[in-house]
Structures are given as C-alpha cells and as structure tokens.
Structure 1
Amino acid sequence: MTKDKESFGLGWEDKLPTPTVKDSTASYDLGSGQTLSVTALAQGFSENIKLTQQPGDAVSYRIPLKLDGLKLSQADSGHLLLKNGDGDLVAEAPAPMMWDASKDEASGESAHQEQVATKVETASDGSQALVLTPDQDFLATATYPVTVGPTSTLAVTTDTWVQNPDYPDSQVSSQELKSGTYDGGTDTARSYLKFDVSKFAGKHITSATMSLYNYYSATCSTSGAATVAKRITSTWSSSSITWGAQPSTTTTGMASNTGHWGYTG
C-alpha cells in the first residue's frame, strides 16, 4: 500500500508457492493444513492464516514488514498503529483476532474466538516484524478450521465498531458495522459513523436521513429493543476508541428503528 511518499507492506519469511486466485483473494498453500490468504479491500488489504487441523507443535507466525517512512507500534488495546516520521497516524488495524468454525446462530459468527498474542519486533537496523502467537489451549479445543486474522487499512478517519467483551478494540477495517445484542446484553456492540459535513457549514439543516443495510439479526421480531442512532457530542477517532473509552452522546434528535432482518434460525 502506498500513499504519497509512504508505503507499507507485509512479507513472509519463506518463499511462497504460486497462489490460487479467486476474485480479489490470493491463497497460498503453506502445507500441514495451513493456508495464507490475502484479500484486496477498498481501502487497503486483509491477510489471514487458516488452519484445517490442530498443529502438532506450538505455532507462531513472524511477518516481516516492508516500511518506507513509517513505523509500527501497538496501543494498550492491541490496536496496530502506523505513524510517519512526524508522529502522524497514516494507517491502522484492529488487534489481531482468531476464531474457529463453530457458529452461534444468534450472532451469526463464531462462538469461539479470542485476541491473538501479538508482538512488534524492531531490529537494530530499524526493520520491523509482526509476530502472532495463537494460544495453544485455544487450538486444542477449537472446531476446525481456525482462522488467524491480522488486517490492515489505509483509512485513518472512518467508521468503526466495538463490542463487549470479545472486540473491545476498534474494528476499523471490518467490512461490517455491528450494533445491539443477541443474548440479552451479555455481548453488546456499538457502531460509530463519521460524516464529512464541512460543506454544510453555515447552512440551516431542516431534516436528514440515514440509510443502512441490515443483513443479519438475532431475531425477526419488530417488538422490543430498537436500533438507535444518536449524535456524538465529543471528539473521537477510529484509532483510539475502545469499549472502555467511548465518546459521549446525546438523546436530543435521536432516531430509532425496530426493524430486524436477516435472521436465519
């Protein structure tokens, strides 16, 4: 990925075989039931490793970084930050996660997932590498295949979401927005959307409409809880927001919708 004079790339320690390509994804067979997949996104790319069987030994993936004018660091939440020489954030990624093939019908996602132990190594020459170490206990009890997924995006100011307790870090490069709960509040997600309203400065706004596409819900019932849209009243950024550090909102002018679609149970 290149932007102006700065660039960022992920490498691999060993020589990769010729990939199979489908749509925007290139997949590399690493052997021993492991496949590396790289997908081009609208604002960057994602990379993940899929394991079809439990590894015989402990596994760790060291991913060399190819940086020009940038340096990688990690926030306390696990969020990955790429900054230039002036300390300005130019790219970011959520904390790497892993999940297995089990499915929670209410949430529509894996019922077994957790954050991957991640370390940023910096050599004496300044070169850096990202080291991912999946938990052995997780791999021993998982339903295969298991996906280990670091992601990256070029967007610095963009929409994001957080979820308690599984995704407390900003999911800035996610291809979806999550909100609400599917289990009575044990798991709760909130999405944050940012709009460029600079061209409306000085204008008198009489009404506004926001349209979102809902493709999966925990129920088809239109009674009970609603999806609520509130105006954010404090400064926030997609790189620093976490479940424990969310911006303030106001109920003034809020809107709600009780429609739920996409439930397949």
Structure 2
Amino acid sequence: MKFAMYHDRAIVINPDSIQLINGVKDIQSLLPHLNDKLFLSSKRTRPADQDLSAPIAEPKQIFAVGFNYRDHLNELKTKAPKTPNIFTKFVSSIADPHPTVKIPSPMTDWETELVIVIGQGGRQISKDKASKHIAGYMVGQDLSDRKLQFENDQPQFSLAKSYENFAPIGPWITTPDEIEDLSKLTITTELNGQEKQHSQLGNLIFDPKDLVSYLSNITELYPGDLIFTGTPGGVGAGRDPQEFLHPNDQLISKIDQLGELIINFK
C-alpha cells in the first residue's frame, strides 16, 4: 500500500481491498502522526503529485547515516565504518516532496537517500525482528551545506544538514509488502536533466534491518521516526572539480517504485 498526505488527510494511492485492510491495521501506530482519517482515492479524488505534503510532518526523531555506500566512501577518501555512522537532522528541516529551497551558501550539496519509516517503536530490537518495526519506505534528500559542515577542523553534520527545507521526503510512504526485493531498486539523482548519482539499494553497507537493530539497542525508536540511510557516490563535494547547487537549479531524487522528489532552488 502507498499512502501520502494532502491537506492534512492521508490518501491511499493504490488501494487493494485485502492488502488495504491488513495495511491499515499494521500502520495504526502511525496514524497520530498523519491523521485520524484514511480515505480511498480514485482518479477523481487523487490530487496532483505537486500538491502532496510530507507524509510524516513532525517525526519525533530523524536519524541519518553517513558513509553507507562504498563508492561514496571512495570519493571522499574515507575508511568504511565498523558500525553505522549516525548523526541527526532536526525536525524543522522536513519539507514537502516538491519544495523550493533557499540556498544558504555556494557550497550546498545533494544526497539522495532511502528513508525508513518506523511503525512500531521499541528498544533492543533484534535484526531478525527489525522488519516488523518498519512501516514503510520513502525517498529522501539530505541536503548539505558543505561550507558550514567543514568550517571547523572537525565536521559539523547535524546543523549543516538542517536548514529550512533541507529534508524533503515522500512523495508517499510505500509499505514493505509492495516491494518484492528492496535491494534491487535503483536510486538516482538528476541535476538539471543530468544524472549525478546512480546505484542500487543492495549496495548499502548497513541495510534497513541492521540500522533499526543498531539504533534501537542504543536509543528508543518511536512510531513515525525516520532513518535516512545514506547516499551513494556522485555527490558534488566528491567530484573533481567540485559541483554545488545554484539558484534556478532543479534536482530530481528518485528510487524505483518509491517515487521521486522534485526540488527547485532559489
């Protein structure tokens, strides 16, 4: 099941009578973060994609993972982490799937990512039970101001990635039963029509089950929490010469079967 947000109401994108009943039952813990009413959409009621809102507007926690694709490690000349490299993005950075983003510095960069949506929270979740705690997946864009990030000798991740609209998500949540094999999905980034990132989710060093288990063994997870799982190679800072975003640029972040984000800059 796929569901999105429009004018504060949850919209089921592709309802199936049996799967819908099961799906709604499975996502009950998420409803307070969405709305207390689900309604079925049809061709007459479904809004245009550009009118969709962020499916999770106010998550309690946003985790993000650095250096989780080997090609990204290589381009930044960084060693592979022994355990997931975790930082956070602040909730005020959440944006709709089609935002216009004000560029804070001439070193603003792109990072398209798979986002995990937590359904059932908890602590001490084992890897073999982690799937039961995942409500679904989205596309996310982890925009990054490299100037602020590397202004000091030690990198500052969270603030540099938390400007207004620096966390576009959506365009909808896709529940796991909709995806036959997550690892085979392709993740891409296009800047002004030119492909900048291209990989498969199977190239993640730490997969969603690893991340849910790891985080829950340190901190409690709550319904509606988001986990940005990391970006593949091809970011602007890793290019020679480096490339960054400019006013009037358009960025498209896409994952097969999960939809796309269309982001404009000013």
* Same fold per superposition (TM over 0.5): no
- Higher helix proportion (structure 1 or 2): 2
Q: What TM-score do you get using the length of structure 2 for normalisation?
A: 0.22
- Higher strand proportion (structure 1 or 2): 1
> Larger radius of gyration, structure 1 or 2?
1
Q: What TM-score do you get using the length of structure 1 for normalisation?
A: 0.22
